[in-house]
Homo-oligomer: A and B are copies of this chain.
Amino acid sequence: MIEVEVKFRIECGDSVEEKLKSLGFSYVESKVEEDLYFNSSTRDFRKSDEALRLRRDGSGVKLTYKGKKIDSETKTREEITVGVDDFESAKELLQKLGFYPVREVRKKRKIYEYGKIVACVDEVEGLGCFIELEIDLDSMYADRVEEAKRELMKIAEEIGVKKSITKSYLEMIEGL
């Protein structure tokens, strides 16, 4: 799957959610997400621009691999996610395979949807508030990345957010 994503800093408690609703977005759910990021003992993910993340929220645990970003303006990248049944066992298994935990990122996330577009309004511990706009494309539609990007940028303009951030929360927390 290819995750086409743009991210913007917003003021916490901003009217962005009202704007989303006025554009037709529907509220889906709120979660607290605890993300544990790993690096590899044989390949530095900070250099290869990859990410390996174990995410725990109220509904379960997911393991996600993210490939390097394939676009200079957005956070667009390949993403593979697998649901796992236990956080601690998955962490232990990854450590046996040569991956080690580097950083935990915790956030409150409110999710909105409009058609195939997902909007996440995030309050990230230690970083502040952000909005992420995302379209997930099946890998067979890789040629539609530009189209999806334009669609997201149009929404961003309508919401009134500017200066897309290409860094991940992990990179921001790590000061990279």
Contacts and interface: CB of A to CB of B under 8 A. Distances in A.
Contacts of A92: 80
B97 A97 contact: yes
Interface in A84-143: 84-86, 89-90, 92-93, 96-99
A63 B93 contact: yes
A16 to B, nearest CB: 32
Greatest chain B CB density within 10 A among A80, A86, A92 is at A80
Contacts of A168: none
A162 to B, nearest CB: 33
A50 B50 CA distance: 25
A89 B64 CA distance: 10
A52 B84 CA distance: 16
Given A96-B67, A97-B97, A82 B85 contact: yes
Contacts of A97: 40, 52, 65, 97, 99
A168 to B, nearest CB: 17
Interface residues of A, number: 23
A83 interface: yes
Given A63-B93, A97-B40, A84 B86 contact: no
Contact of A80 (B50, B63, B80, B89): B89
A80 B98 contact: no
A96 B80 contact: yes
Contacts of A83: 84-86
A92 B99 CA distance: 17
A43 B42 CA distance: 10
Nearest to A85: B83
Which 4 A-B residue pairings sit nearest by Cβ, starting from the closest?
A: A83-B85, A42-B42, A80-B93, A82-B89
